[in-house]
Structure 1
């Protein structure tokens, strides 16, 4: 769901907008992938296709006639806002439009100072808005999405940008020759993340000092614990939070952060049990956070300067700062990259911080945190044992947007949004 800000066209400066949802795709049922992930078979780490708005072409046993690439139509000499969303399961993707530059203007709902780039890079769960000026000769132009940091055996995700009234030179029903598609530079940890700055940081000022700092070492688990929901027959996790109690199983426990607490979180990557340092997109429910920096090796205070206008977002990539050729031969437990973020616990409830790669969250790369237990009484019953909030890519209060049966109320969403974001 996209909530339109009526001031955005004038504030940002664009004539119209387009939405592009890009993501990886497997030619297997989800149930089969899930069963393989949790069995000795293991997860299939290489997807079969990259889709754009649900469209793509696959050459293989599962290919079907009549399918086509996505075609996005535009008028010449106009400025478009492209809302680009990685809806995938696993792969971080790079996106590029042939012969068109892009200016990043929004990151996960927050306006940023325009930053010119020739390609975009986004992980599962991340959302960017870019401005694109259609000032080229009328015709067709390739758009392309490719995997980053994790290969897919030469899989690409082509789509077509088509000027209305131009000559249609590109074929949407055939996979193009790879050499005709926009290419990309070598992978670069942290991409341009450090260059992004908030446009209206005064509207959401970042607290200057933390009250609490948490360090999560992330390899095959988090601090040697893989999260698991309470077992059948136990209380819902949300009810444990309301009662300020902890489940007996350590893997199901939540962290009480207190209300209106400024919390610094250090996401510290370490080499996992198969000698690999993974990149992870970390997503926070119910809150956003300010990005403070990232780097290689082990985090130490003072490694990076605090940005003057840090971006407030909800999904951030923990990069693997290692030589790709050494993956699989690294020493387990070795620090190999970090991400530093800051949050304010101002949205009562029980929430998750988790890796947005589905296979990783299924294996327990998640933590639950909560605060202000007395304010979540109204949703303390009628929920399943595993409930601790929805992954809805918003900063809305769970207890305020659902009734006792868990039904979503759009009016409550809007009221809660205005309550927590009066200046946005």
Structure 2
């Protein structure tokens, strides 16, 4: 009988048709269970991975093959998505409803990812049944290969910092609230690495005086934009979701839902304990939680209150967002400058304007994009599988390219796009809250954002030189944000609101990046181990 590791290697040889032979393999085995967690000082039913909340970090290097065998020991279906891992040419592994069948209770599924031509700070999370509200998330970092220059010295330490909003109630109750046509109440607290203000201990990061450390900060919450700051210390921004940035210095940093930032801090102050502070933004109710930056040679605790931060200042946040730019002279995952592929000199072939809206459909609360509120297919067949087996069930191109002004209606919205085109998407937010948008499988250039109504004349203010390339972007109230995307990744990709209740109630769609080519150079075939469900359950893994 083969040993576990030998068996894993054998399976990978069978399953991985989309990897480069010389790229290393990293194997993970995860057991997903319920367990008792204490983020707010009271026991809650949470989702653990290998007994941990938050889940274990994934450490990898550019081009690594990451093999994650996930055992679902919950009493319901479960699915993990990889926020920012592009998994080139293989959306079957994307881990959202439209691409991947969920793992049944008591079963397992092996995700096969390659972090091809990527670096940076990301995270993973559960994507179905509102599980994100109970845990199951963790950090995912991709380091540069040896010999590829990085635009800062190796830090003395590298910390994952997961921040977010939190409810005392678990995902089952919160999902039932939405299913009963009620809005979720205001969140109960904020957390840092799963520890809130009433937790038994604060999240603590220990540093040595005089040394510099990297913090990888991700907002894994459900709704709120958060401000992050460290008492008495400046933060030097060095990377955003896979892009080395100009090294601007900030005293506090807005991190919108779904976003990830890497900063450097230097322990150059008097040895003692310093507050790490997270507070919510753009709300009349202010929540704050604190962690500890602890000097290893300190015998002194906090002195004084935590430092305050911004609250409702939209203009302050917009100004800060515009200062986040690409470091054009830094290498990315390859040994060449990030600005060598110059997006600003490529003509776009299509403009798509997407507007969010809220309203009632059949007496129930819904959220929409261009008036279409997304619903799954009746059979529950993931769109990617329905597309692959050519069984229909959805209509590519059934969402308009611009807002119609019509009332909200239900449909399985799929945006049809063509492979190897270069397009512009404008997010238009006519509502009074900050929005946050994420596109699976892609990074995009955030070329412009401003208040008011977008028009073609707005392009005159676009940053066509050093806009940051990232995977999630915010849209401020009564404002717009414009992005450029090179459609170089064939597949079915989820474009969604990162406000999880809005996503659950329809503010999402799928972007079908299509080609007539059947070459593996353009898209890999369905993995041999792919789970099949809905109308394709029991089918052959190859279409007839």
The change in CA–CA distance for 1:240 and 1:210 in structure 2 (over 3 A counts) is: farther
Match of 2:194 among 54, 59, 65: 54
- Runs of 5+ unmatched residues, structure 1: 59-63, 171-175, 272-276, 321-335, 388-403, 405-424
2:434 corresponds to: 279
What is the root-mean-square deviation in Å for CA atoms of aligned residues?
2.6
Aligned to 1:224: 371
Which of 206, 215, 233 does residue 353 from structure 2 map onto?
215
CA distance in 1, matches of 2:174, 2:259: 23
Distance in 2, matches of 1:56 and 1:368, equals 35
Q: 1:257, 1:232 → 2: CA distance?
A: 25
SS at match of 1:181: coil
Alpha-carbon distance in 2 for matches of 1:337, 1:357: 17
Aligned ranges for residues 326-365 of structure 1 at < 5 Å? 336-365=478-507
> Quick check: which one's strand share is greater?
2
Q: Do structure 1's residue 296 and structure 2's residue 451 form an aligned pair?
A: yes
In structure 1, the residue matched to 2:364 is none
Q: Which moved more, 1:290-299 or 1:244-253?
A: 244-253
Cα distance in 2 for partners of 1:360, 1:162 equals: 38
State the alpha-carbon separation in 2 of the partners of residues 204 and 287 from structure 1: 16
Summarize the Cα distance change of 1:356–1:164 in structure 2 as closer, same or farther, 3 Å threshold.
same
Query: Matched residue pairs, number?
Result: 352
Q: After TM superposition, give the deviation of residue 316 of structure 1 in Å.
A: 0.2
Alignment of 1:14-413 (within 5 A): 14-16=154-156, 17-44=158-185, 46-58=186-198, 67-151=200-284, 153-170=285-302, 180-186=305-311, 187-189=313-315, 190-200=318-328, 201-206=338-343, 208-220=346-358, 221-232=368-379, 235-242=381-388, 243=390, 247=394, 251-271=411-431, 277-303=432-458, 304-307=460-463, 308-320=465-477, 336-372=478-514, 375=518, 378-379=525-526, 382-384=531-533
Please give the alpha-carbon distance, in whole angstroms, between the structure 2 residues aligned to 1:346 and 1:51.
Answer: 37
Contact 1:241-1:254 within 8 A present in 2 as well: no
Change (3 A) 1:49 1:31: same
- Return the alpha-carbon distance in structure 1 between the equivalents of residues 212 and 258 of structure 2: 26
SS of corresponding position for 2:379: coil
Contact 1:237–1:385 at 8 Å: present in 2 too? no
Cα deviation 1:7-28 (Å, max 9, x = unaligned)? 6885322422222111111000
Deviation at 1:205, TM superposition (A): 2.5
Normalised TM-score (structure 1): 0.77
Unpaired stretches in structure 2, ≥5 consecutive residues: 1-139, 329-337, 359-367, 399-409
Residues of 2 paired with 1:287 and 1:23: CA distance?
Answer: 23
| Contact 2:281-2:310 at 8 Å conserved across structures | no
Task: State the Cα distance separating 1:385 from its structure 2 match.
Answer: 5.3
For 1:71 and 1:241, the matched residues in 2 are separated by: 48
Deviation at 1:378, TM superposition (A): 2.5
